[in-house]
Structure 1
Amino acid sequence: MTFLVGKAVVDVKAGAPNNGLADDNVSRVKQLRVGRDVYPYVSAQAFRRWLRDSVPAQEPRSGVTRSGAGKNQQAHTEGRPDRYFDDDLFGYMVAKKGADAAKTCQRDTVFATGTLLSIAPRWPTQDFGTMSRGFKAGENPVIHGHELYSAELGADLALDLPRVGTFETGGSGLKIALTAEAAKEAAAQGASALTFRGSPALRLPLAERRRRASLLLRTLTSVRGGAKQSLHYGDRAPALLLLAPMKGGINPFTRIVGLRDSRIVVDARVLREELAVWRDELDGPIYLGWAPGFLGGQRDDIRVELGKEIEDGQLLIDHPRSLFNRLADEIEAGRRDSWFDDPTS
C-alpha cells in the first residue's frame, strides 16, 4: 500500500486567485485570521477546479447534472469512475430518493488536497477601479474595489495509489462507488472483481490505472486557472512540489516549508530528520520539484546541505516538470507497479 504524500507551494505575486463574498462593492480575497494575523488562502475546491481545468482537452470529463430550485438545488457528476478520470480521483456523491434510490452512489476522494494557505501572515491590499467609458461629460464614474496580495501558499497532498481505478461495490457502512447497473457495465468493459480493504470491489486494468496516476502527476506541474486573470494573471503551477511514496497514509512532510526570521524557507533540518525517522515507511526516494528562482538561492543551498541524501538516492531534486514527468514515465512503463497494490489485495 503506497500513498504519494507531500506538499505543494504556489507563488502568488500581486494576485487575487480565489475570492470570497463581496463587501460594500469590494471583492474580498479569501482569508483566515489567527489572532491579529491574516493569512490569504485558496480553497481546496478552487485548487481542484484548477486541476480539472488543466487536464489535457482530449481527456473526457464527467458531465454535471443540476436539478431543483432555490435552497433545494442539487448538482452531481455522472458518478462513473470507470469512465472518467475526474470521478475516479476526485470523488463524487450522487444522492437519489424514491424510485431512483438504486442510482445512489458515492466515492471518497482518492486525491486529497489541503487548503492553499499563506505560509506567512500577509495583509491583502485594496485596489480600486473606475468605469466611465461612454459616460457623458460631468457624470461621476462608477467606482469598484478589490483586494490582492503577494504570498507563498502551501497545501498538503495525498494520493492513495491502490484506490486509483478501484471501486467499492458493497461493504458495511459505506456508500457504493458504482451502482449495480454501472458495475455490470464496468465488468463487461474489463474491470475485474476483488476484495479490497474488506469490501467487494471492481478494478480497472493496470495500464489504465497507471495512465490516470501519471496524468495527475503531469497535470500537477502545469496547473493554470484562478480568478481575476484579466487584472492579475500569474503562474498558478506549484513552484515547489514535494511527493514521497509512503507505505501508509501519514504525511510527515507538512512542515518542511516554514518561517525563519520572517523569511519563507525550505528547512533542510526538518526534511533530513523526517527522512531519517520515517525511512522504514518510505517506498522509494523523496521527489522534490523546485522551480529555479523560487525562494532565491535556497535550492542551491539545499543541494549542498542535503548532499549526502542526494548522493545516496534518497532525495531527488529537479524542476517540477522534469522530475514528475520522469516519475510519470516510470509509472506508465510499469516500474512502480508495487505502489498500486495493498499487501493483502
Structure 2
Amino acid sequence: MSNIKKISVGVEEYPYVSSQAIRRALRNQLEVLGRELSEGVAASQAKGAATTRQEPDKFIDDDLFGYMGTESGDGNTKGGSTKRTSVVRVSPLIALNPYQGDLDFGTNYMGVKAGGDPNIFETEIHSGLYRGTILIELDRVGKDESREYIDNQEKAARVKDLLKAIKNLWASGRQSRFLADIAPKFVIAAMLSTKNPIFLESVKLEGNTINVPIIEETLKDYEPEIISSVIGMRKGFFANDIVNAKSIGEAFEEMARWIDEYYKQ
C-alpha cells in the first residue's frame, strides 16, 4: 500500500504536500529556468548530514532557501557550524477537499517472466484543490547581518525567478503514473510593511465557490500594513469570479513590478 500524507480534522482526513516537497519543487523549477543550484556535498563530520556549498553569493538556492553546515575540529579546537535561515518561508499544501478513500489498483508483472507471480499493489489517490502560502523576506535577499552578497539588480532577478517557479510549480513525484498540475489556479498576494502571512487561513471554498467575504475582511483588517495587493484567478475555473481579479499571468507580472520597485531603494 502506498499512502498519501494526511492530517485529521475531526472525522475527516485531508491530504497534504509537505513544505519540504514544495521547497524541492521550487528548487527544481529554478534549475529548469536556467539557475545553477548549489550541489550537495558530504558532511565534514562523521554521521553528519550532507549540505550544500553554502555560497549564497553564487547560488540562488543557498541564498533563498538557506542551509545548515558543520565543520569538524582538528583535535585542539571544537567543530563549528554555519547557518543561513531561509529567506523563503513555505507552508504545506493542504487539500481543501477531504480524502474519500479512493484507491488505484496496480499489478507489477516484472517478475512473471522470472517465474514469479504478479505483484498486486494499492495506491491511495486524491483529486482536489490545495491551499498553501509562501512568504518572502525581501529585506534579507542577498545579504546577512554583516554584509551584502549581491547588488540590487541580482536580488530582483532572483526573486522574480522565484515568482516564475511558483507560477509554474511542478512536482516530480509520481508524475509518471499520476500526472498532476499543482500550478496556482488562484493567487492572492500582498507587499507588506510587516512580515506576516496574512492570507494563510483566508482562502476557503464552499463547494467550488471562493469565500470572498473572508478575503475582503483580511484586506480591510491589514490595510495599514498593505503596500500593494493583487488577486489572480483562472477565469471560469471556480463557480464565482471575483470583481477586479486579474488573470494568473497578469497577477504575477504585477508582483514582478513590485519587486523591481522595491529594489530601486
TM over 0.5: yes
Q: Which residue of 1 aligns with 2:251?
A: 323
Aligned-partner SS, 2:7: strand
Aligned-partner SS, 1:61: coil
Q: Which residue of 2 aligns with 1:113?
A: 90
Q: Which residue of 2 aligns with 1:337?
A: 263
Compute the displacement of 1:72 (Å): 2.6
Determine the C-alpha separation between the residues in 1 that align with 2:169 and 2:254. Answer: 17
Find out whether 1:287 has 2:230 as its counterpart: yes
State, as a whole percentage, how many aligned pairs show the same letter. Answer: 27
Determine the C-alpha separation between the residues in 2 that align with 1:133 and 1:217. Answer: 42
Gaps of 5+ in 1: 1-25, 169-199, 304-309, 311-316
Deviates more, 1:267-276 or 1:37-46: 267-276
Find out whether 1:217 has 2:217 as its counterpart: no
Determine the C-alpha separation between the residues in 1 that align with 2:213 and 2:36. Answer: 43
- Alignment CA distance shift 1:42-1:134 (3 Å): closer
Compute the displacement of 1:201 (Å): 3.0
Of structures 1 and 2, the one with the larger relative CO (CA 8 A, separation 6+) is: 1
Determine the C-alpha separation between the residues in 2 that align with 1:92 and 1:146. Answer: 34
Q: Which residue of 2 aligns with 1:141?
A: 118
Q: Which residue of 2 aligns with 1:49?
A: 24
TM-score by length of 1: 0.69
Structure with the larger helix share? 1
- Alignment CA distance shift 1:202-1:133 (3 Å): closer
**Would you say the 8 A contact 2:171–2:182 is kept in 1?**
yes
* Aligned with residue 272 of structure 1, among 207, 210, 216: 216
Determine the C-alpha separation between the residues in 1 that align with 2:133 and 2:158. Answer: 20
Structure with the larger strand share? 1
Determine the C-alpha separation between the residues in 2 that align with 1:98 and 1:291. Answer: 55
Gaps of 5+ in 2: none
Compute the displacement of 1:49 (Å): 0.7
Q: CA RMSD in A?
A: 2.6
2:52 partner amino acid: T
**Would you say the 8 A contact 1:218–1:325 is kept in 2?**
no
Aligned-partner SS, 2:129: strand
- Alignment CA distance shift 1:331-1:203 (3 Å): farther
Aligned-partner SS, 1:74: coil
- Alignment CA distance shift 1:133-1:98 (3 Å): closer
Q: Which residue of 2 aligns with 1:64?
A: 40
Find out whether 1:30 has 2:33 as its counterpart: no
- Alignment CA distance shift 1:126-1:280 (3 Å): same
**Would you say the 8 A contact 2:203–2:215 is kept in 1?**
no
